[in-house]
Amino acid sequence: MTAAAPGLPAILGPIRPRPRWRETRLLLIVAGAVIVGSVSLALTSQVADPGESHGLSLANPVHVAVYLGLLAIAHVILILSGRRMDEVLLPTAGMLGGISLLLMERLPQTQVVQSIGPWRLGLGDVQLAWLILSFGLATALAITVRSDSWLRLYKYTWAAAGVALLLATFVFGDDINGQRLSLTIGPVSGQPAELLKVILVVFLAGYLSENRPLLVEESTRVGPIALPPLPFLAPMAAMWAIALGIVVMQRDLGAALLFFTVFLCLLYIATGRVGYVVVGVLLFLAGAYLMYLIVPTVQTRVDIWADPFKDPSGSGYQIVQSLFAFGRGGLLGTGLGAGLPTVDGNLPIPAVHTDFPLAALGEELGLVGVTAILGLFLVLIERGLRIAASAADEFRSLLAAGLALVIGTQAFIIAAGNLKLIPLTGITLPFISYGGSSLLLNGIIIGFLLALSDRGVEPPPPPKPRGRLARLTGRVSRLETPAAGRAPIPPSPARRPDADR
């Protein structure tokens, strides 16, 4: 990235485009899938309303064109940026977003109506707008984030800001369905807990990478049992307290479960000590039991989960309807737009667009579709973890892993809730659920992951490159700048990474 490619106007600055063929190919597949889905949706509505014209068409050509155009623009910007970034993340997230767009077009548009000036926007329009912002944000972060010092240096400031946001929500927030999750500041309304997810990962990555040697080496011995060093368990206890606090104050079980799971995973990644995980799980179980005893919401949720069919038209209604939807879908599904039978014009699952999109997709795309969607999430996770494993230093490693885990854990929690594998908690399915805060958060995560995957940027001066780090930096340098005449750092023969374990 030292010189502009020849032939480009100087006004664009030092631009050296780098083709991303793999991303191009994958995005073409995504475009094909979205177009096929839209045609299928159009055909279904033709059958339902035979008065309309027949023949192949798109359900909402403008939406599809705008969305695919958006992905194409993002793709071109990434090419122009010339950074050596991951080429799978954008198409994967793009596919999930495309599925979301098709689902929101298919649901009754009156689920969400926003009037902006002369326009009345329905569910599909609003979701498309959020998707545009989300992918725009992702692209912007991907090409602009070049240094992480602003993240790692001010981690306590970030954490304090996050807690402040949380408290502000608790004090000034709006109550919706007995949960106090959203905060309105002027014209902007959002759910700060979503942003907190990223802030928390930044803080944990900073804290854990800084204190890693101590957390790994030290032990507090109680008799024959070697416990983790007690002073460094303080963050674990604090985390536990924050999670429980969220449950008590905000009735937001999903977020609490997500924070705690991501925290435990990062702690394990940083230390490799199973003891932490065991202690953490025990703490979780104790906390969960405590919550079950004292928080009525938790009790209700667990009781519904244990037997939703006990009160299928009352408290168990949503989950029973979710299971019915999965059952109706069967192996191949009913087809986009052909599911979700209405009685007296009512959708079977009222919160389908926020909490139960997987049930709707399970019905209309079948087990095949659900498995594919779960697979897409798994691809996101594994790409994120791959970026983490090959990151330049431990902070970046933990940051990338944490961000991937936020998406993965969140998808797992809500999918498992929809499928009655765990008690249902109100949390969004990343990239698919309707919701601005959630989509923006997902965009931020993808943006950071793309930036972190850039193997062309030097990490801040590493303390002492060695082991895997040396190998990675050596490899990166070798790959990136051989022409610049910099001698690649050879893999250090002194430290063989595999033997480290």
Partner 1 sequence: MTGPLPGAAPPPAAPPTRAPPPAAPPSRTARPAPLGKTIGHVGLALTVAFAGLALGAGYWQVVRSPDLTADPRNPLVIAAARNVVRGLIVDRDGKTLASNKRDPDTGQPYRVYSDDAFSGVIGYASRQFGTAGLEDTFNAELTGVSNGNPIGDALRKFELDPYDPQKLTLSISSRLQQAAIAGLGDDRGAVVMLDPTTGEVLVLASTPTFDNGAVANPATAEKAFAALRTDKSHPLLNRATQGQYVPGSVFKIVTAIAGLGSGRITPATTFPSQPKAEADGLVVSGFRIHEHPGVPSRSFDLIDATEWSSNIWYALAGLRTGGANLADFAGRMGIGGAIDFDLPTASSQVSGGGSGPGGFADDVELANASYGQAKVLVTPLQMALVASTVANGGVLMRPHLVVATTGRGGTQRVGPSELSRVISPDDAAAIAEAMQGAVESSIGRQFTTGAKVAGVPTAGKSGTAELGGTGAPHSWFIGFAPVDHPRIAIAVIVERGGRGGARAAPLAGDLMTMFFRLNR
Nearer of residues 176 and 368 to partner 1, judged by Cβ = 368
| Shortest distance, position 412 Cβ to partner 1, whole Å | 5
Q: Is 451 in the site for partner 1 (CB under 8 A)?
A: no
Residues of this chain, 337-376, that bind partner 1 according to CB under 8 A = 338, 341-343, 348, 362, 366-367, 370-371, 374-375
Token pair 């799978």 is found at 88
Nearer to partner 1, 53 or 342 (CB): 342
The one-letter code for the residue type at 488 is P
The full 3-state SS of 21-67, as one line of letters, equals: HHHHHHHHHHHHHHHHHHHHHHHHHHHHCCCCCCCCCCCCHHHHHHH
Strand 225-227 vs strand 114-116: parallel, antiparallel, or unpaired? unpaired
Contact 229, 215 (CB under 8 A): yes
In terms of CB distance, is 221 or 501 closer to partner 1?
501
Min. distance of Cβ 220 from partner 1 in angstroms? Answer: 15
336 CB-near residues (< 8 Å, 6+ apart): 37, 40, 41, 44, 102, 103, 106, 364, 365
Instruction: Write the burial class of residue 190 (CB in 10 Å: 0-12 exposed, 13-18 middle, 19+ buried).
Output: buried
Q: Least distance in Å: CB of 436 to partner 1?
A: 26
Nearer to partner 1, 32 or 341 (CB): 341
Which CB atom, from 287 or from 497, has the smaller least distance to partner 1?
497
Separation of alpha carbons 235 and 205, rounded Å: 12
Distance, in Å, from the CA atom of 84 to the CA atom of 480, rounded to the nearest integer, reads 9
**Rg from Cα positions in the chain:** 24
The residue from 158, 232, 377, 431 that contacts partner 1 (CB under 8 A) is 377
Which is nearer to partner 1, 31 or 450 (by Cβ)?
450
For partner 1, which stretch binds (CB under 8 A), given 68-76, 227-235, 262-270, 285-293?
262-270
Q: What are the E-state strand segments in 110-194?
A: 114-116, 119-121, 174-176, 179-185, 188-190
Tokens of 193: 């807990």
User: What's the rounded Cα separation, in Å, for the pair 183 and 269?
Assistant: 34
Name which of 228 and 366 has its Cβ closer to partner 1.
366
- Contact stretch for partner 1 (CB under 8 A) within 28-36, 75-83, 233-241, 270-278: 270-278
Q: How far apart are CA 123 and CA 136, in angstroms?
A: 20
> Segment 398-437, which members bind partner 1 (CB under 8 A)?
398, 401, 405, 408, 412, 415-416, 419-421
Residues 379-398 that bind partner 1 (CB under 8 A): 381-382, 385-386, 388-390, 394, 397-398
* Residues numbered 41-100 forming contacts with partner 1, rule: CB under 8 A: 47
Decide if residue 326 touches partner 1 (CB under 8 A). Answer: yes
Q: Which of 333, 357, 423, 443 binds partner 1 (CB under 8 A)?
A: 333
* Shortest Cβ 33–partner 1 spacing (Å): 19
Residues between 271 and 300 with contacts to partner 1, criterion CB under 8 A: 271-272
Q: How far is the CB of 357 from partner 1 (least distance, A)?
A: 14
Which residue in 245, 312, 456, 488 binds partner 1 (CB under 8 A)? 312
Please say which residue, 130 or 260, places its beta carbon nearer to partner 1: 260
Beta-carbon contacts of 62 under 8 Å, excluding residues fewer than 6 positions away, are none
- Token representation of residue 279: 């202690």
Q: From CA 135, how far away is CA 443, in angstroms rounded?
A: 6
**Residue 377: CB minimum distance to partner 1, A:** 7
Among 330, 460, 484, 486, binds partner 1 (CB under 8 A): 330
The footprint of partner 1 on residues 200-259 (CB under 8 A) is 212-214, 216-218
Secondary structure class of 232 (helix, strand, coil)? helix
DSSP code, position 464:
S
Q: 125-144 mask for partner 1 (x: CB under 8 A)?
A: --------------------
Q: By CB under 8 A, tell whether 468 contacts partner 1.
A: yes
Cα-Cα-Cα-Cα torsion 225, 231, 236, 240, nearest 10 degrees, comes to 100
Q: How far is the CB of 70 from partner 1 (least distance, A)?
A: 28
Collapsed DSSP state (helix, strand, coil) of residue 453: coil
Among 169, 334, 442, 473, binds partner 1 (CB under 8 A): 334
* Residues contacting partner 1: total by CB under 8 A: 82
